[in-house]
Structure 1
Amino acid sequence: MADIVISFANWIWGTPMLVLLMGGGMILLFHSGFIPFRKIGHSISLLRGKYDDDLAPGQITSFQALSAAIAATVGLGNISGVAIAINMGGPGAIFWMWVSAFVGMATKFYSCSLAIMYRGTDSAGVVQGGPMYVIEEGMGKKWKFLSIIFCVAGVMGLLAIFQANQLSAVFRAVMLEPAGIENTVTLRWIIGIVMMVLVAFVILGGIKRIASVASKLVPFMVVLYFLTVLIIVGKYIGDVPEMFVRIITDAFTGQAMAGGAVGSVIIIGARRAAFSNEAGIGTAPMVHGASKNREPIREGLIAMLGPFIDTVVVCTLTALVIMLTGVWQSTEADGVRLTLHAFDLALPGIGRYLLMTAVLIFALSTMFTYSYYGHKCFNYLFGADKADYYNYFYLVTIAIGAVVSLDVVVSFVDGMYAIMAIPTMISTIYLAPKVKGAAKEYFARIKAGR
């Protein structure tokens, strides 16, 4: 079974996803008139909350929506995912992660604008947003099968098994293995159950508690990780230009790949970027669709900051730490353990504890937000009166994730993400003209001072 999961993920994340996410995102980037580059300043100004409307439909503010979305994206994808990308595709994979991020900004602008434009209501009459409602409300009932495909994949793919797996790994490496405590299955189950209880305290309180906790944790965790990485980069500052040159040259030569397979480097970069910033997957529109915002374009502009913060800033810093310390060439470690070796080498004695703190906050905040995403998918499929049952299923899988192997976890999540991306990208491209028309009207009003 494990081999089937891994083979499926490797197949679908070849040409099919490269064409859909990178190709589709490129179409949206051109169609938007390069809005991610032209309007990023306006996006940042919107975060100050000047235009927040407490009476607008929705459950949370735009800042809370972005914080919750970033809590899901700025996480272990930036620590473990980057390490996996470099381990598999070399430094050149980072360049293609950058490309995916800028393309992904356009995708998120469109998909999150649509999440406000085509909101629906669940069986309890609560206003909801996300690709499933965009498809049903914007494309019509005949396309509802795409909504069902998205939600079925979302229920399975948005489990926190990867986060549980990697948090368990770093805790064992930092706290238990140095003390000589043996890494047994029983120990991993205990760690998983403890994580399950911690997450339960937050997610059983619903989206408002999740968004409230995320809006407090996200700024703290980003600043902590950012400052730690900057200290490490500062130690090797003279080598930084060489690392950027290596990233760019390897992207087109594939020198770190066996046989110099440039195509494989592109696929690895795109695959890890999608896992990291989730642009085109359809998760962020679910939380942005809950924002108290009457302006679809405004929400899209705020949402598009996510891939920039996540991939262009945070992933690049992680990549620099791994490359500057040289651990990617000198150790067999993979995932979070590779990043842990880099922090340990750069900041002996304290580096591993700083990383463990960051991983703890990253993983928990991601777990909180993922539970909301899966809950919304379950709500759509089975009704609001049954949606809370999903939380208990979700919590149990956290304990399971701490025990299973990394390869199976990564492949399973990647496979489900790919299936979610198909309905999301189809609906986003299909309804793109609606967003462009609304954007033209929005910026005309801004220019006129209205």
Structure 2
Amino acid sequence: MIYQNTQAYAAQLDEKDELRKFRQQFLIPRHHGADAVYLCGNSLGLQPRAAKQYIQTQLNAWEDNAVEGWFMGNDPWLSYHKQLIPTLAGILGANAAEVTVMNSLTVNLHLLLVSFYKPTTKRYKILMEAGAFPSDQYAIESQVKFHGFKQEDAVIEVAPREGELTLRTEDILKQIEANADELALVMFSGINYYTGQFFDVDAITKAAHQAGAYAGFDLAHAAGNVPLQLHQWGADFASWCSYKYMNSGPGGISGAFVHEKHHTDATLNRFAGWWGYRLDKRFLMAPGFQPEVGAEGWNVSTAPILLLALHKASLDIFEQAGGLQMLRAKSEALTGYLEFLIHDINQRVGYEAYRIITPKNKNERGCQLSVVCTSHAKATFNYLADNGVIGDWREPDVIRLSPVPLYNTFTDVHLAAERLFEALTAIK
């Protein structure tokens, strides 16, 4: 696509956008009486307009039926979560039985690590990317310590080459191969939160299995953002949060993927709970845990219906949009336009005022561009916020900007770039 740096051109792209109607299904924050330019969906997605009604419907069911709401009404709560599974499975590239909704992301990672981190005296190491989100770092650190190992011995962090900010797939694979005899698990992000790099989940999974290790993924920044094929790729497990690209509310419910090849593996440990017990006998209250077939066998606690309702409000919009195929195409165009405009700013001023550290290859990134401000970084971020552009700040000098295809426009992207340009002269 050949882009142009004019407001009229951005408006033309919006006019041709087949997905533009979905913006109206979200509540856009206001700034001085106008819609703000919200480019922070990588941190918290916008509220669907329908969210209040979805919540109210379940409050009404509670009011009308009280405890009988679990078994009666239009959406009995006992099976409510199953309405979400087909859309989630499509987003994740999974079979329906491989997906469940439960808990929060880090809780799910711990529960999954109970099953898939099975260290021995020889195979006890976990390989992950350096600079993973702190929750992952802390979870892995605590897991290896729980099993009696030292973090410095048991955790291998793969870092970018000197002078580079993103990882090369070949370097990840070489590290897996080099440590094959000692690896118990390869645990990676789908997309690195800081750089926005989309890792080659398929290649990493294959290399982990070749080394005799399990492969698991934190998909916090990938689910609902980039195409995934977890079943086909053979990933052993994954978890994600729903409040970023899936717009399911602050602290919204998480989910988990467990590949079907593990569903009947009785050698896997798990921390069990009543909600993961086989449904056909759950209410017999018998001793001895018998898991439900599929990923639901990893459930622990009773489903939080109000959080599920918020999640469903957004997933229904994904369903209306036809899943990720068209959304991905628009995402690539929006992010490509933002990239073009930032390069254009540098050309206009004659120096590199802004440096994009997210990979240029569209197959190695999602919605997010991480932009280094080469001077007055925090002041630039504040200038954007003061002028109606909401992004995300990361120390020491990075602004993350994420145009989301469900609700962002090409005009949003153009306005954000104009504010970046203005900041260069407005900040002294």
Structure 1 or 2, whichever has the larger Rg, is: 2
What's the TM-score, normalizing by structure 2?
0.25
What's the TM-score, normalizing by structure 1?
0.24
Bigger strand share: 2
